[in-house]
Structure 1
Amino acid sequence: MTNEAIQEGAPSDHFSMFSSQNAKIKYSYNKIREVKSYKVGELFSAYRDILWDDGRHKYNVSSFIGEIDEILLGERFSAFDQSTLDNLIGTLRQRGNSNATINRKMAALSKLLRKAHKMGDIHSLPEFRRQKERAGRIRFIERDEEAQLFAAIKRRSEDAYRLSVFLVDTGCRLGEALGLIWNDIQEHRVSFWITKSGRSRTIPLTARTKEVIKLPVTEGRRPKGPFTKLSQAQFRAIWNDAKAEVGLGADEQVVPHILRHTCASRLVQGGIDIRRVQMWLGHQTLSMTMRYAHLATNDLDGCVVVLETPRCNGSEAESPLSSAEPRSEPVAAKASSKAPRKNSKSA
């Protein structure tokens, strides 16, 4: 191509195509876009309704993102680097956040930034590493505590009492119970469609659960479901009043979610295997259910028998699982003992 031809051609003609004997490369300028900067709060406003369903979890995420935006002083960014993330985690730890709490907040931030990166709003992401969490003690209520607490709840609200019984016998989450409609209850089973994991499940009902889902005959329009008369805020207020009355007001772990822990604990202690407990509770992974595995103490009773077996003459006694019958002589040995000896002279 001559200099004259280059001067006469348009700039797009100069660089749109480079040809050689073995290669052809095309350049396009149509996808170039301006790099802008955003605050974390602005990204959340743009994508919150896409990434999170309405409910308590979305409310918690909103609080997490608001705190993160406050720590970052509303700074705008086009790339979220590793040092920014490390400083953020350090600040949360200085504020007294546990590793478990930090993980929940970082999970929300990671989900938001990955969406922004995919949409081209930011052009780089840091590496999110999960903080090591300690296995905390799981609190559950005993039978006598349940009787006292539920009686106090019943004195305040019959609907709240019915809901409490349903929660402890099904192990469902509070939001799952409040979202039930009558079509979700068929004969002796209940189906949960609106769940945290997004997976539906169906479980059988206990005798007393069948009773508490029955509404008393009253005049007026029938509610949409067995517990739709209550809201989460109303139930929690009744719960806290009853909890204080029975002397549990100072126990921060005695919240409505303790009824889910109690149901899981009773299943495991009753000999139900972990896999079935996972299906009953609707846990997404088995590791979540393994928090209750230590309660299955009956599985270890056989170990005590082995440890308490006395030692005889300095050697270990036979295992209690071994057979008490004398060992039989090998077949080959028996056959050889019965075989007649050959006469040496008849060789």
Structure 2
Amino acid sequence: MGSRYRRQFSTRKAAEDWDLRTRAGFADGLVVPPTVKAAGPPPPTTLGELLSKTRQRYWQDAKSIKTIDANLKTLIDYMGEDLPLSSVTEDTIEEYTHHLEESGKLTPATINRKLAVLSRSLLYAQRRGWITQKIEIRRKKEGPGRVKFYTEEEILEIVKAFHVDLEMPEYALLFRFLCDTGLRLSEALDLEWEDTTDGRVTVWDHKGAKPGGVPATDKVAAILHKREETVGNLTGPWADMTVNTTRYAMKKLRAHFDKTGADGWLWHTCRHTFCSRLAQAGVPLPAIRDLARHQDINTTIRYSHLSPKDYESAINKLR
């Protein structure tokens, strides 16, 4: 008894043509070729491709599609649609979370909703076999929390590690520069030489941040002088660096000290360090807000526990 072959065709004519060829093949003693399953679409290899597939799979008919699209855009604007999926790690997600937090406009609940689109996308990718490792996304607690900052001892150890152990001295300078100016990493990378004149580091409006600047300390001035000797022919002091190269440098640093982004070892922690050191030195919170260009004073209040002298001074006025 012969085998029966069943095959699906897009049109009746295609089916009839195949039937004629098959019958002719049997008559000539030829083997009928097996049915070959058509290859599906290629798996996503970048973050943008994954988000597009996830949107089509889960959200394109959702009532909240406008909010979802806004959250997807925020994610793409920060990470880039061409970011390889292999580069989406817990550390890069921690950096993104800190970026959202620093805007000063988002509640923990809103940040969690923005993280949710990434979480769903990564879960979808894992289930489809596009990625093999489960990536944990730490949600924000619904309430104020204390921030991680580098201690003086850690600062010295990190500078030494970049200079000596990792042989990346330019990143030691960047690290120290960020700790002493409070600039966001993106702001530092965008600096031009004309923004570092008259003893100040000037920052123009950047993603909602208030324009302004910070006086350059002697240490910052020395760093800028060193960079000018090295890359003075470029547009700015850090123009030879990119987001990807700085991520790589931080990854090397964390591996050297056996730390992770979840431990707070991030470039953005330099900004927290700047604000924390000012608070510990007794600088009033409104001044810290202005130097850091916080949109909301509530962002600055996170550092209030570091300046107990302010409270002692206030209570003393009642005595």
* TM-based fold match above 0.5: yes
> Is 1:269 equivalent to 2:280 in the alignment?
yes
1:249 Cα deviation after fit: 4.5
**Does structure 2 retain, via aligned residues, the 8 Å contact 1:153–1:239?**
no
* Structure 1 runs not aligned, ≥5 long: 1-58, 86-96, 109-130, 306-318, 322-347
Question: 1:264-289 CA distances to partner (integer Å, 9 max, x unpaired)?
Answer: 10111111111111111111111111
Partner secondary structure for residue 208 of structure 2: coil
**Does structure 2 retain, via aligned residues, the 8 Å contact 1:179–1:228?**
yes
Distance between the aligned counterparts of 2:234 and 2:242, measured in 1? 13
Aligned ranges for residues 287-326 of structure 1 at < 5 Å? 287-301=298-312, 321=319
Question: 1:92-115 CA distances to partner (integer Å, 9 max, x unpaired)?
Answer: xxxxx973532435899xxxxxxx
Aligned ranges for residues 42-81 of structure 1 at < 5 Å? 66=52, 69=55, 73-76=58-61, 80=63
Indicate the residue corresponding to 1:199 in structure 2: 210
Q: What RMSD in Å do the two structures reach over aligned CA positions?
A: 3.8
Partner secondary structure for residue 202 of structure 2: strand
Indicate the residue corresponding to 1:222 in structure 2: 233
1:231 corresponds, among 238, 242, 247, to 242
Partner secondary structure for residue 190 of structure 1: strand
Distance between the aligned counterparts of 1:266 and 1:219, measured in 2? 29
Provide the aligned length of Structure 1 versus Structure 2.
212
Question: 1:217-248 CA distances to partner (integer Å, 9 max, x unpaired)?
Answer: 76997111111111121122122212332343
Distance between the aligned counterparts of 1:158 and 1:290, measured in 2? 34
Aligned ranges for residues 108-119 of structure 1 at < 5 Å? none
Distance 1:224 1:74, change over 3 A: same
Indicate the residue corresponding to 2:112 in structure 1: 102
Percent of residue pairs bearing the same amino acid type: 23
**Does structure 1 retain, via aligned residues, the 8 Å contact 2:200–2:216?**
yes
**Does structure 1 retain, via aligned residues, the 8 Å contact 2:178–2:270?**
yes
Distance between the aligned counterparts of 1:253 and 1:201, measured in 2? 27
Distance 1:297 1:216, change over 3 A: closer
* Structure 2 runs not aligned, ≥5 long: 1-45, 69-96, 98-107, 119-139
**Does structure 2 retain, via aligned residues, the 8 Å contact 1:215–1:226?**
no
2:156 corresponds, among 147, 151, 157, to 147
User: What amino acid sits opposite 2:144 in the alignment?
Assistant: A
Structure with the larger RCO, 1 or 2 (CA within 8 Å, 6+ apart):
2
Distance between the aligned counterparts of 1:256 and 1:144, measured in 2? 17
Distance 1:65 1:152, change over 3 A: same
Distance 1:166 1:299, change over 3 A: same
Distance between the aligned counterparts of 2:231 and 2:263, measured in 1? 39
Distance 1:67 1:172, change over 3 A: farther
Normalising by the residue count of structure 2, what TM-score does the alignment of the two structures yield?
Answer: 0.56
1:190 Cα deviation after fit: 1.0
User: What amino acid sits opposite 2:55 in the alignment?
Assistant: D
